[in-house]
Amino acid sequence: MNTNAGRLYEFGPFRLDVSEHRLLHHQQIVPLGPKVFETLLVLLEHSGHVLQKNELMTTLWPDSFVEEGSLTQNISLLRKALSEAGEQQFIETVPKLGYRFVAPVKVVEVSSNGGAGEAAMLPRSLERSETHVRRLMLSIAATLLLLTIAIGGGYLWRIKTRVSEGMSRFSSEETVRLAVLPFKPLASNGSNEFLGLGMADALIVKLSNFEQVNVRPTSSIIKYAGHEFDSRSVGKELGVDIVLDGTIQHVGDRVRVTVMLLSMNEGKALWSGKFDEKFTDIFALQDSISEKLASVLQLQLATGKQAHLNKHFTENAEAYEDYAMGLYFWNKRSKEGLTKAIDYFQKATEADHNYALAYAMLADTYCLTIFYDYNVLPSSEVIRKAEDAVARACQLDDLLGEAHAAMGLVKTYKNDPDGAEQSYRRALKLNPNSAIAHHRYAFSLLSRLEIEGAIREMRRAQELDPISLPINTTLAGCYLYVSQYDEAIKYSKLALEVDPQFGLARFNLADAYEWKGWHDEAIAEYMKLSEQRGFRLYGKLGLAFVYARSGRQNEARRLIGEVKSQFTSEEAFFDLPLQLASAYAVLGDKDEAFVWMERAVESFRFRRFDLRYSRPLNILKNDPRYEQILRRHEATKSLVSELSKQNSAF
């Protein structure tokens, strides 16, 4: 749209400043979404003349296909914004043709030095209060529009009255909670399923940087991909205010998408739209949807945020499809899933050597194979590959939060805790609403034995991603460390509601029951674990622990013997030696306890906080062997960390 940025338009009590991209009403800023502002500007430029609907749509959406309803929505929002002027009519609907701006308009040209005469000068009082007013309007914009649409025009007046009285009811901390669900495929073509997930992920990434909106992360919604689901039920499960639901169809060289924004409170649609693009222009389609969504939510976009909204991580459709497939398997967290995710992310980077997000996720996936002890490759090789990938991601886009979150993992496994913490802090600065960055930063704080800070970060992660299995399970573990067993039970149960087969959550639940003194409940949960593939040894050790504490020593020793005989099986997780040390400590067999403690500490995966907050191992602390083992571990770790820093690519 060709406009003169050095102009002011005055009509009635309003002034539109093109260069500052704002509308003023009696020296107060009127919040307008980007497309609504552009709609008003086009009407003002052609005031007194009829603008046909197709002409307006072509001007406002030059590279996208949108339906007439999108234009009608913009006009409706604009009329509401201008309704403060009373009964005065500004925009006339010309039946079957279009719209005409009918109020007198005064155009003031502004010179490069701002000397435009009285009409072009902004009042000093406004200059002084502009920052305060903008901050207030930013914080209330999204909530105000949603309330307006959902509750009706009568309530709008009361809300506006509160704002004019300077009440800060809608603070910046009160955000709209939004879930973008995987777009449902209309055809049985398997690629459509992953394309629908990729579309949702792209919109989540675009919208996650807006502090006014708390967007549920992809990990929260990915389990619905490829399944039939009721949008309202999912919205309630995710604990959100609004849901963006859609369908997607890839036919030939076209991609057709329908979207609908649903209010959970009102149970009705706030907005809907249809989009049609060539598949090679799928990124323009994502821009159209995200921009429209921002307009509907009435987000006031700062320049940097607008740039993020229109940012494309790739222009290569093939690379994008591979990335979407990788994302799907990345979230499965199984050995097979992560292996496939590595393959697909690798393909995405080969199709587009500048795909920073794909490199970041590739590095992240490599690190997760270490975390879950899958041994897909030797640890040193996995770390090297992850390091190369994350270095490339940061080289391509140093403002990518996902890259810095992955870098934190790489530095963790290179024994550089200070560097890891810096990376997590950087990731959170770039995207404060990243649940995964808060989650991993919590682990970084735990490694420093800063338990209160870890719980704070973990709680924030849980608020952002309330049904995440790893986050709820880790939060439960943190509460176990500080003996808050009721909280540990609460979050363990929450994780198990999502997935009853999530063994680590059940182990935490059983542990909380045991320390709370509910032995029967603990035994029941450990029995379930002892029958679950991948957690049988944990279940048996848990039972041994309960029996040892309750005086059933022979039964405890029998179970410990079974675990030791199977220790080399694939079911043996990295911290099993520490669990064996704990069991022997409770039995009073200190010599055996130290044998297994030594083995645990020598493990590549040993975590100091597991030892520090272990109640059974407190029994060993008065024995000099306890400190000797820890000192040897710390000395080795310090040496490795120093060598790592000297050879680090960061």
Are 208 and 296 found together in one domain? Answer: yes
Are 118 and 205 found together in one domain? Answer: no
**Mean pLDDT, residues 30-46:** 83
Are 297 and 187 found together in one domain? Answer: yes
Are 83 and 200 found together in one domain? Answer: no
Residue 55 domain flag: yes
Q: What pLDDT, in 10s, does the model give residues 458-475?
A: 999 998 888 888 899 999
Q: What is the CATH number of the domain that holds 54?
A: 1.10.10.10
What backbone torsions phi and psi does residue 339 show, to the nearest 5 degrees?
-65, -45
Are 12 and 116 found together in one domain? Answer: yes
Estimate the share of the chain in helix, then strand, then coil, as percent rounded to the nearest 5.
Answer: 60, 10, 30
Are 186 and 256 found together in one domain? Answer: yes
Are 106 and 185 found together in one domain? Answer: no
**Mean pLDDT, residues 623-640:** 70
What span, in angstroms and rounded, lies between the C-alpha atoms of 172 and 174?
5
Q: What is the pLDDT of residue 342?
A: 95
Q: What is the CATH number of the domain that holds 289?
A: 3.40.50.10070
Residue 48: which domain range? 7-122
Residues 6+ apart with CB under 8 A from 320: 198, 282, 283, 314, 348
Q: Name the band, by pLDDT with cuts 50, 70 and 90, for residue 5.
A: low
**Mean pLDDT, residues 444-455:** 89
Are 194 and 301 found together in one domain? Answer: yes
What span, in angstroms and rounded, lies between the C-alpha atoms of 391 and 374?
23
Are 303 and 186 found together in one domain? Answer: yes
| CA distance readout (Å), 272 to 23, 81, 443 | 26, 21, 41
Is 627 a residue whose pLDDT tops 60?
Answer: yes
Asked whether 403 and 389 are in contact (CB, 8 A), the reply is: no
What span, in angstroms and rounded, lies between the C-alpha atoms of 413 and 385?
12
| Range of weakest confidence among 304-308, 320-324, 518-522, 529-533 | 304-308
Residue 461 domain flag: no
Are 182 and 106 found together in one domain? Answer: no
What backbone torsions phi and psi does residue 168 show, to the nearest 5 degrees?
-105, 50
Higher pLDDT, 483 or 163: 483
Q: What is the pLDDT of residue 84?
A: 57
Are 196 and 267 found together in one domain? Answer: yes
Residue 248 domain flag: yes
Q: What pLDDT, in 10s, does the model give residues 73-120?
A: 778 878 877 875 555 678 888 877 889 998 888 888 765 454 444 333
Tell me which residue has tokens 């209060």: 129
Residue 66 domain flag: yes
Q: What pLDDT, in 10s, does the model give residues 145-194?
A: 333 333 333 322 332 333 233 223 323 345 778 899 888 876 555 555 56
Residue 262 domain flag: yes
**CA nearest 371: which of 344, 335, 402?**
335
Asked whether 428 and 441 are in contact (CB, 8 A), the reply is: yes
Cβ burial, residue 188 (10 Å; 0-12/13-18/19+): exposed
Q: Name the band, by pLDDT with cuts 50, 70 and 90, for residue 506.
A: very high
Number of domains within the chain: 2
Is 2 a residue whose pLDDT tops 60?
Answer: no
Tell me which residue has tokens 């976009």: 301
Question: What residue spans of 297-334 are helical by DSSP H?
Answer: 303-309, 317-330
Are 223 and 301 found together in one domain? Answer: yes
**CA nearest 298: which of 113, 159, 500?**
159
Of 288, 312, 336, the domain-final residue: 312
Mean pLDDT of all residues in the chain? 76
Residue 491 domain flag: no
What span, in angstroms and rounded, lies between the C-alpha atoms of 150 and 145?
8
Q: What is the pLDDT of residue 472?
A: 92
Of 276, 292, 312, the domain-final residue: 312
Residue 291 domain flag: yes
Residue 99 domain flag: yes
Of 312, 343, 376, the domain-final residue: 312
Token code pair at residue 37? 């502002």
Q: What is the pLDDT of residue 634?
A: 67
